[in-house]
Amino acid sequence: MAEKCDFFILGGGIAGLSAALAASQYGRVILLTKGKIGETATEKAQGGIAAAIDQIRDSTQFHFEDTIAGGAGLCDEAAVKVLVTEGVDRVKELIEMGAQFDRAETEAGGTAFALTLEGAHKRRRILHAGDETGREIEKTLGRRVVAEGKVEILQQMMGIDLLVENAQCIGASALNQQTNQQTNFLARSTLLATGGVCQVYLHTTNPEFATGDGVAMAYRAGAEVTDVEFVQFHPTALVQIKGFEDIVALPRFLISEAVRGEGGILLNNKNERFGDELAPRDIVARSIVEEMKKTGEDHVFLSLKQIAPEKIKQRFPMIYKTCLERGLDITKDNIPVAPAAHYFMGGIKTDINGRTNIDGLYAAGECAATGVHGANRLASNSLLEGLVFGHRAALAARSEFSESSPTPHTPSPIPAKPRLKDVEVQRYKLVIKSALWQGTGIIRSKENLEETFAELEKVERQVDFPAVSMEELELKNMLLVAKLITRAALDRTESRGAHYRADFPKKDDINWKNHLVYKLGVNS
């Protein structure tokens, strides 16, 4: 079975929805979501979206400077300029669509957006909707998509592989998770907006479906990937509380950076404050790791006692409720926290319009590497990136797609039964996640990275057969992405941003102020 459209989009988060809204003005759009509508990393985003809305106390130039500084020398300045300038317009469009960001009273008696401060931002520029900003944005974009009725959304469909003919992407194959049937989607332009990869780590804040599918699909098809060694570890994820062990298998619950922005402080097990809570995330994460090593504990504490209880409940209702359900009253109790894998700065190499090195293939959002984050992403720039570059990619695709309709393809037959039982898939996934956490985590070294790579190659030999189910596809994708991250971490013999080598602890601008690019069969 084959479906035809003008624009084919894989991913229903902020980048995919932003692209769908723009593309739907120019042709037929089909959008696939791996889960149900709304089950995305966007929906989980707590803190906010960064934009220089306050033109009196802030500016796009200040936002530009903060982003460049945070990127540790590897940001693409043109991409950052696009992000901070067009970001203001995109956020204003969200507001016009009805997005309800928090407001506060002004001294003049009116109201204004209640902008907050987060790590490495020197101005208050974070718009938020309580601590469920991602959900509010996703609902706003989703309502507009549904109201316009121009986008066909297919749920519980997972991409298998891109279809490339004569060096041009003409669509992708996808698996219906309910029927296990394959469909080919043929399109004039294909956009990958599949989100992140951090389920390759044992401890992560990412939802279970963040298995690097788009990055793996693109790499197998011959697309370039870059900056894959730069994985951001969020400093403050909730560590399991005694008596609630049944939750341990789930992704770690994120305690938003906005909590520290509003006055939360880090304490060790002696109740001593340490570190700079609003330093870039890589610095805060490493300071926590060092503190845990000193004390022999698996966590430190985040104290909110400097914040008024009513403000905590009003500003962070979801965090307050979730912690209460797990035995913590954060208006009184310190929160046990530790770093967890959170965001992928690397991905499919694109220009500022989302173009890849394959004609007809575009990428946006966390699966793409535009260069806006460099070696370390600033808090709340991720939602902005998806909003801005999803929109740009759709417009670029419209101006460039082939006027000829792609030729029909017969889907490859899918064998009736998977080779692995679910328990076997989960065991292999656990091996990958544990190996990455131990060897390709917050602090890396040649010895540990080589051990990790050898472990991954061992798994690869054991699962050397075609994937035929969603679980097997995820396993294969995780394995490929894990190898790419580890290979790049081995190759970059310096420390920069989120990539820290204990055996090369200093930044080396002479030899390493550049980007590692990988392509199937050719690495540079």
> Using CA atoms, how far apart are residues 21 and 18, in angstroms rounded to an integer?
5
Quick: pLDDT tens for 394-449: 999 998 765 555 565 565 555 558 889 999 999 999 999 999 999 999 999 999 99
Name 272's Cβ contacts closer than 8 Å, sequence gap at least 6: none
Write down the pLDDT at residue 108.
73
Query: 464: burial class by Cβ within 10 Å (0-12, 13-18, 19+)?
Result: exposed
Encode pLDDT of 30-61 as tens digits. 999 998 777 777 777 777 999 999 989 999 99
Question: Could you give the CA distance from residue 441 to residue 357 in angstroms, rounded to a whole number?
Answer: 29
- Most confident listed range (97-101, 295-299, 409-413): 97-101
In this structure, the strands spanning 368-369 and 225-226 are: unpaired
Of the given ranges (34-38, 185-189, 230-234, 306-310), which has the lowest mean pLDDT?
A: 34-38
Q: How confident is the model at residue 328 (pLDDT cuts 50, 70, 90)?
A: very high
- Mean pLDDT across 482-491: 98
Q: How far apart are CA 278 and CA 283, in angstroms?
A: 9
Closest CA to 516 of 366, 389, 349, 372: 349
Contacts of 376 (CB under 8 A, 6+ apart): 70, 71, 72, 230, 232, 280, 281, 282, 345, 497, 498
Tell me what pLDDT residue 248 has: 45
Residues identified as active-site: 281
Predicted local distance difference test score (pLDDT) of residue 199 = 96
Q: Which H/E stretch holds residue 326? A: none
Q: DSSP secondary structure string, 452-507?
A: HHHHHHHHHHHT-S---SHHHHHHHHHHHHHHHHHHHHHH--S-BTTB-BTTB-S-
DSSP assignment string, 174-243: EEETTT--EEEEEEEEEEE-----GGGSSSBSS-TT-S-HHHHHHHHHT--EE-TT-EEEEEEEEPPPTT
Backbone angles phi, psi at 486, to 5 degrees: -65, -40
For 357: left if phi > 0, alpha if psi spans -120 to 50, otherwise beta; the answer is alpha
Query: Taking all residues of the chain, what is their mean pLDDT, rounded to a whole number?
Result: 91
Whether residue 71 has pLDDT greater than 90: yes
Residue 406: the pLDDT is 58
CB 141, CB 331: distance < 8 Å? no
Segment 237-295, tens digit of pLDDT: 999 765 554 544 567 899 988 899 889 999 999 999 998 988 888 899 999 999 999 98
Question: Which pairs count as long-range contacts for 505-513, CB under 8 Å and 24+ apart, including other chains?
Answer: 507/72, 507/73, 509/73, 513/73, 513/74
- Is 36 in contact with 155 (CB distance < 8 Å)? yes
* Structure tokens that stand for 396 in this block: 């670029």
pLDDT digits (tens, 9 = 90+) for 158-168: 999 999 999 99
Confidence of residue 379 (pLDDT cuts 50, 70, 90): confident
Residue-range domains of the chain with CATH: 235-340 (3.90.700.10), 422-523 (1.20.58.100)
Residue 395: closest CA among 7, 5, 3, 4 = 7
Taking the mean position of all CA atoms in its chain, how far away is CA 390?
14
| pLDDT at res. 247 | 45
338 backbone dihedrals φ, ψ, rounded to 5°: -155, 160
Give the closest residue to 231 by CA, choosing from 261, 201, 257.
201
Please report where in the chains the tokens 């394995």 appear, as a residue: 479
pLDDT digits (tens, 9 = 90+) for 175-226: 999 888 899 999 999 999 999 999 999 999 999 999 999 999 999 999 999 9
Distance (Å, whole) CA 418 – CA 113: 52
Quote the tokens at residue 8: 């084919």
